[in-house]
Amino acid sequence: MEIREVGGENITIAASVDAVGLFCPMPIILLKEELDRAKSNQVIEILADDSSFHNDLTSWCKLTNHNVLSVIKDEDDIFVAYVKKNLEY
């Protein structure tokens, strides 16, 4: 587990998913698989460069009731997102 600063807070990252180079729906599928292994309230980091990733992620998290803590696009046009697993998922 690693600690990252996200939105001014230190967050413990349970796992990181590298979905760079993959297109919909693979980044979300890989995130779901990692969330299935995670415990409630753990945070998963996911990296993706699919242009639709941000919209796909927010829609899927809303549907599954997970919390998107942050989504940023870095200088290499890669989305870096942090998702907190819902208690009841």
The CA distance from 59 to 48, in Å, is 16
Strands 67-73 and 79-84: antiparallel
Q: Are 74 and 28 in contact (CB under 8 A)?
A: no
Q: Could you tell me the two tokens for 1?
A: 């587990």
Cite the active site residues. Answer: 24
